[in-house]
């Protein structure tokens, strides 16, 4: 795609965003006129090409053999209403790395991914003007570390308080189609877009050769699913918390949401308990259910304010807890969640076992990438001990499985450490500073 074509698409998106910002209460009835062959080429460029194939088994290489004609036909079918949304192929992956609990993932066809991307490119600039500062998940220019920083600043500003750790049970599987259409219709009433979204919601799921048609849910894995889920929870939780909850509270409150992971914070216990009482009713109104055990109220008050028992909560892979700083002040610290750390160590041990016979330099290169990737996400202020533990366990696992190679030659710790002088592994690195980052 040429720079000029890319600029044209970007200009159209900017125009959509500007209009949406200028007209916050207007329902847009015509958006798809922006979609042309240039738009579809950009949608294809942004679509992942190396993912698993859908039910039609068509690969990117096959689709690209006649790309412009295929995209032109796809665009014509979408606008004419003749596009048929194929079933999503369902596979299961371990939920959070736990092989006993599986998460369903939907795999659309490549062509379906391209069309979903094209529609997302229309809707995202519009709804980004509506979304609130409290949401961070699957939004351009936003990250989980910004969400973590926001929580840290809010809690430190209140010197602790009461935390509602919200867990929506099977969220992506229980999104109500009727409510979702209604919410989207308040802002977008373009017939082509609404028809396509309806087709995707009703496309069905293929599993073990059988096709089912769930009446609720948005298949995880679909290109447009994260945006639809954000649109839904923006209405269900974000706007409700800002307009209905905050004005009625006696103390400071905050909300931080990353997709369906939600933290509500309160300065006063009575405020927290009031919201905890009405929150299940609010969710039920839109067909959602809070997990009765995982949704909990946590007293997270600074010991400086008189809290006697230690408390903590988990969010986005980190455990938040109170501890003394080097200057002996009470601050909120974060460390890698215990289950996450154990899972990561287990994964790297298994990798070392399976790849022990490979060339040492190739093993080293992969382990360097694994360490850097781990530090890139978990390298947050005060998490040094957890990072160091992960690095040590990786080194131990590597030495153990190198010593299990079938040929002779064992690595004593002295010999192994000597090898690490020539093939060094990255040292612990704090990538995200709590004192310099902005939410």
Give the pLDDT confidence of 384-421 residue by residue, as tens digits.
999 999 999 999 999 999 998 866 567 889 999 999 99
| pLDDT at position 106 | 80
| pLDDT at position 207 | 79
| pLDDT at position 219 | 66
| DSSP annotation string for 25-38 | TPPB---GGG--HH
| DSSP annotation string for 183-248 | HHHTTB--HHHHHHHHHHHTS-EEETTEEE--SB---TT-TTHHHHHHHHHIIIIIHHIIIIIGGG
| pLDDT at position 408 | 58
| pLDDT at position 306 | 65
| pLDDT at position 91 | 80
| pLDDT at position 407 | 65
Regions of the chain with pLDDT less than 70:
1-6, 95-101, 219-220, 305-308, 406-409, 436-439
Asked if 348 and 395 touch (Cβ cutoff 8 Å), the reply is: no
| pLDDT at position 410 | 78
């Amino acid at each position: 795609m040429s720079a000029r074509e890319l600029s044209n698409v970007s200009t159209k998106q900017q125009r959509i965003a500007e209009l949406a910002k200028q007209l916050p209460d207007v329902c847009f009835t015509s958006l798809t006129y922006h979609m042309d062959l240039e738009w579809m080429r950009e949608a294809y460029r942004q679509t992942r090409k190396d993912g698993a194939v859908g039910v039609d088994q068509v690969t990117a290489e096959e689709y690209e053999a006649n790309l412009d004609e295929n995209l032109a036909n796809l665009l014509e079918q979408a606008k004419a209403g003749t596009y048929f949304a194929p079933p999503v192929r369902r596979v299961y992956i371990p939920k959070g790395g736990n092989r006993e609990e599986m998460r369903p993932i939907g795999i659309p066809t490549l062509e379906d991914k391209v069309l979903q991307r094209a529609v997302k490119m229309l809707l995202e600039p519009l709804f980004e003007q509506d979304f609130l500062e409290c949401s961070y998940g699957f939004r351009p220019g936003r990250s989980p570390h910004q969400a973590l920083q926001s929580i840290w600043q809010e809690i430190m500003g209140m010197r602790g308080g009461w935390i509602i750790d919200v867990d929506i049970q099977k969220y992506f599987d229980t999104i109500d189609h009727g409510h979702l259409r209604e919410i989207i219709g308040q802002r977008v009433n373009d017939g082509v877009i609404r028809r396509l979204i309806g087709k995707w919601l009703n496309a069905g799921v293929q599993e073990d050769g059988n096709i089912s048609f769930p009446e609720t849910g948005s298949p995880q894995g679909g290109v447009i699913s994260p945006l639809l889920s954000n649109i839904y929870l923006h209405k269900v939780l974000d706007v409700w918390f800002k307009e209905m909850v905050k004005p009625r509270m006696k103390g400071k409150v905050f909300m931080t949401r990353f997709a369906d992971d939600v933290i509500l914070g309160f300065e006063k216990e009575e405020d927290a308990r009031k919201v905890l009482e009405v929150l299940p009713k609010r969710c039920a109104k839109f067909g959602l259910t809070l997990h009765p055990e995982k949704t909990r109220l946590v007293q997270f008050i600074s010991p400086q304010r008189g809290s006697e028992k230690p408390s903590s909560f988990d969010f986005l892979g980190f455990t938040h807890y109170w501890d003394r700083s080097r200057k002996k002040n009470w601050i909120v610290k974060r460390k890698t969640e215990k289950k996450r750390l154990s899972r990561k160590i287990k994964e790297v041990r298994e990798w070392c076992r399976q790849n022990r016979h490979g060339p040492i330099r190739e093993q080293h290169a992969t382990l360097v990438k694994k360490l850097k990737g781990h530090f890139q996400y978990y390298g947050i202020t005060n998490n040094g001990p957890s990072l160091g533990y992960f690095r040590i366990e990786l080194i131990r696992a590597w030495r153990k499985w190198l010593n299990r190679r079938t040929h002779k030659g064992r690595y004593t710790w002295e010999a192994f450490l000597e090898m690490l002088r020539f093939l060094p592994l990255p040292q612990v690195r704090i990538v995200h500073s709590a004192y310099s980052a902005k939410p």
